[in-house]
Amino acid sequence: MLSQRSRYALKALLNIARNGGVRQVAAISTEEQIPRKFLEAIMADLRRAGLVRSTRGAVGGYALGRPADLITFAEVMRITDGPIALLPCVSRNFYQRCEDCPDEHACQLRSLFSEVRDAVTGILDNRTLADALRDDRRRDGAAVGEEVMG
Amino acid sequence: MLSQRSRYALKALLNIARNGGVRQVAAISTEEQIPRKFLEAIMADLRRAGLVRSTRGAVGGYALGRPADLITFAEVMRITDGPIALLPCVSRNFYQRCEDCPDEHACQLRSLFSEVRDAVTGILDNRTLADALRDDRRRDGAAVGEEVMG
DNA sequence: TACAATCTCTACCAATCTGATAGGAAATTA
DNA sequence: TAATTTCCTATCAGATTGGTAGAGATTGTA
């Protein structure tokens, strides 16, 4: 399961991307129903990873560190939750040997879970914040305004 | 990440399937490098779920509760780790609402993580213990004996 | 019957992770 | 200077994880 941390991080980033420009923790907190102090800690992680830039003081806040179409879901999840793969020995970004495994290449779990990793990262490494916003607009459009467009 | 519990459960079941018939915890424990007492607890779970049948006494042990080609990886993982989906609100077997989510159908995470769930369960619900053993034999064959067969 | 082997059950435990909360320091704007 | 906002450090309760201990129940065999 995704941690609450990751869910919050993704929602916060989508909130910033949706609104554009600089956005305060307090606003995100109330809009996305995220405990303020907890969100502060999460934003600090995202800042240290370069996903957002912060400005302090009276009209400060957070802005995306790069365009929304260059921030993937996978990247956010790796920052907040660590590895995406189900086994350490099949992770590309956080590889670690399974200590109790005598021979990695003979392991009957490894090939299957490599396949799972490929399936998952195939989606998450290629889906950006911008994609999520676009899908959302399309869904709204289909229900309400798209007809007007032809 | 998969819990150690799940890894051990899968390895233990594969061990039983590979050897066929009844198999003792002590043997599995040493062969698969799993702490004995911990494995006992895991086998108890698998028994309660019907994946294995146990017999007590002098020549007791555990046998598969049904043929190896009817036990999927997904089923084992759900017993030992719970939901496979990354969000409770997209799980088929353990569905739960996200409390802080005002409108599930407007959620910008949900559609993406449904897609991920489909990709993962598409693999894990359709891969059985028998498949894993077969793949393994094929891999051995390719390296050693297959040439003899033509 | 006694004994050894095996699963079964209950309880317990240390370490880590999760999801927060508290309070103040530092920076910026008006 | 006052207000606003991020930044930093510390703390914490509860759950989860990975495991251990020991006694009890059941069965096969000598």
Q: What is the pLDDT of residues A13-68, one digit of tens each?
A: 999 999 999 999 999 999 999 999 999 999 999 999 999 999 999 999 999 999 99
When CB atoms are compared, the residue of A11, A112, A120 closest to B127 is A112
Q: Read off the tokens for B119.
A: 């990709």
Nearest Cα of chain A lies from the Cα of B27 at a distance, in angstroms, of 16
Which residues share a beta bridge with A53? A63
B108: phi then psi, degrees, rounded to nearest 5: -80, -5
Helix (H, G, I), strand (E, B) or coil at B64: strand
A57 CB below 7 A from strand C atoms: yes
Whether pLDDT at A137 is above 70? no
Residues 57-96 of B with CB under 7 A from strand C: 57-62
3-state secondary structure of B104: helix
- Summarised one tens digit per residue, pLDDT across range B40-79 is 999 999 999 999 999 999 999 999 999 999 999 999 999 9
> Is B87 in contact with A2 (Cβ distance < 8 A)?
yes
**Can you give the three-state secondary structure of chain A, one letter per residue?**
CCCHHHHHHHHHHHHHHHHCCCECHHHHHHHHCCCHHHHHHHHHHHHHCCCEEEECCCCCEEEECCCHHHCEHHHHHHHHHCCCCCCHHHCCCCCCCCCCCCCHHHCCCHHHHHHHHHHHHHHHCCCEHHHHHHHHHHHHHHHCCHHHHC
Q: Which residue is nearest to nucleotide C17 (CA to C1')?
A: A3
pLDDT at A149 over 90: no
What residues of A are in contact with residue B121 (Cβ under 8 Å)? none
DSSP B48: H
Q: Could B116 and A123 be called an inter-chain contact, meaning their C-beta atoms sit closer than 8 Å? A: yes
Mutual angle of helices B4-19 and B25-32, in 10-degree steps: 110
Beta-ladder partners of A19: none
